[in-house]
Structure 1
Amino acid sequence: MNMINTTPALQETDQLRADIYALLATLLRRTPEKDLLEWLASLEPDQDEDTPMARAWSTLALAAKHSKPRQLDDEYHHLFIGVGRGELMPFACWYLTGSLMEKPLVLLREDLNRLGFERQTNVKEPEDHIAALCEVMSLLITKGHGYATQHQFWQQHLQSWANRFYIDLQGADNAVFYTAAGLLGHAFMQQEDNWFMQLTPTAREGAQE
């Protein structure tokens, strides 16, 4: 997704949220490259912190240490591309209606247009791909959209199906490294749910505007 805007200073929490969305988008858009794998493998989460996110980071770091780019190419292909289609269909329409290119995509495109996003010319997948939605969330945060806008987009286009996708990804027959990616996605969605619930109406309306 492309968007032209100024970039305000972010609070640490918001920068971390944006970075996690961007990481998930990268992992789900294409096979991670060697540099990203090495960075993930170098992560050292706090061993004293026993939370779903901490466990997810530890699992992802361990998976990255034992993964090689060529193996990941095959894994990604079997999961998301396949012959005809992959094991999983990472699209909102598929999870919400059982088909592609349905009403949820129309509503998403209306929201993207209203928010000033446009589809990149080199992207072939519909905009309701999980990676694209994570990219949008990252950009909403980094470009200074308020929490109300972030929550509305998240609630309308991710909350109703993304957790099911991440759970399916964890249990997919062809998933090895991507089991850990699914674990991170699932833990992060739960964290976002709790985080939005804890915001007061004043915080949602006033922060980052």
Structure 2
Amino acid sequence: MTPQALSFNAPGDAEELARAELYGLLARLWWAPPDEALMAQFRVAVTQAPQPGGFLEHPWERLVAAGRASTVDSASAAFEALFGGVGKPEVLLYGSHHLAGFLNEQPLADLRADLARLGLARDPQRGETEDHLSFVFEVMRYLIAGDDVAVCNLTQQQAFFRRHVQTWVERCGEAVASHPLAQDSAGFYAALAALTTAFMQVETQAFDLID
């Protein structure tokens, strides 16, 4: 978790590594509340990007500040209040819900078909379905940084992003950011949602340039 990973100013391979690292960080934070090791990283993270004024600089600064103002316990409580609990969570982090209005609908089936084509499958130990926000971010991280060049390339990144990320993730981020419970724990999850939305906008614009 470094400012380089969020600046998108590094050339070539460094820029791709930065993208992959950010997808990985977002996947981790949307999967579970930060543990003490991750909170310690927030406490020492540099808040300014190497080139000030970048589109992600302010959302990153906001997330770092929220992380420093939070504790493991307060972030865990906020995560549970928003995304856990008995019954239906306050905010659902699943693509099928945001695209079709219900869980386990056609968007999930379409995603599974594309994952099978890519040779990817869900780890049954994780419990969540493949359309969880964390899962699609982890797939994007793999498509950027994986070793299989037949799968991990810009063409596959763009296709997966267009079909399974761009279609709903900003909407999900807005649902989190606007929820009153996201303002708890120093607004950590509101800040995380803002960084996620900003990053999706950066990625959308970048893929637009190669159409």
TM bucket normalised to smaller:
0.7 to 0.9
Check conservation: 1:38, 1:64, Cα contact below 8 A. no
1:179 aligns to what? 190
Q: C-alpha distance in 1, partners of 2:33/2:96?
A: 23
For structure 2, the 5+ residue unaligned runs are 1-11
- Are the structure 2 counterparts of residues 32 and 84 from structure 1 closer, same or farther at C-alpha, using a change threshold of 3 Å? same
Pick from 91, 98, 101 the counterpart of residue 98 of structure 1. Answer: 101
1:70 matched to 2:73: yes
Q: C-alpha distance in 1, partners of 2:45/2:64?
A: 6
Residue 46 of structure 1 and its aligned partner are, at CA, apart by 2.7
Pick from 84, 89, 92 the counterpart of residue 86 of structure 1. Answer: 89
Residue 83 of structure 1 and its aligned partner are, at CA, apart by 2.1
TM-score (norm 2): 0.86
Instruction: Report Cα offsets for 1:52-83 as digits up to 9, x if no partner.
Output: 31001100110011100111111000111122
Q: State which drifts further: 169-178 or 14-23.
A: 169-178
Check conservation: 1:25, 1:132, Cα contact below 8 A. yes
Q: C-alpha distance in 2, partners of 1:178/1:84?
A: 21
Identity of aligned residues (%): 31
RMSD (Å) for aligned C-alpha atoms: 1.5
Residue 49 of structure 1 and its aligned partner are, at CA, apart by 1.8
For structure 1, the 5+ residue unaligned runs are 1-9, 202-209
Q: C-alpha distance in 2, partners of 1:164/1:42?
A: 31
Instruction: Report Cα offsets for 1:13-60 as digits up to 9, x if no partner.
Output: 110111111101000000111111121232223377233310011001
Check conservation: 1:170, 1:182, Cα contact below 8 A. yes
Alignment of 1:1-209 (within 5 A): 11-46=13-48, 49-143=52-146, 144=149, 145-175=152-182, 176-199=187-210
Q: C-alpha distance in 1, partners of 2:54/2:193?
A: 16
Q: C-alpha distance in 2, partners of 1:184/1:106?
A: 28
Q: C-alpha distance in 2, partners of 1:156/1:140?
A: 14
SS in 1 for 2:83: helix
Q: How many residues align?
A: 191
Residue 189 of structure 1 and its aligned partner are, at CA, apart by 0.2
Check conservation: 1:42, 1:61, Cα contact below 8 A. no
Q: C-alpha distance in 2, partners of 1:197/1:42?
A: 35
2:3 aligns to what? none
Letter in 2 for 1:73: S
Residue 130 of structure 1 and its aligned partner are, at CA, apart by 0.4
Letter in 1 for 2:63: L
Letter in 1 for 2:28: T
TM-score (norm 1): 0.87
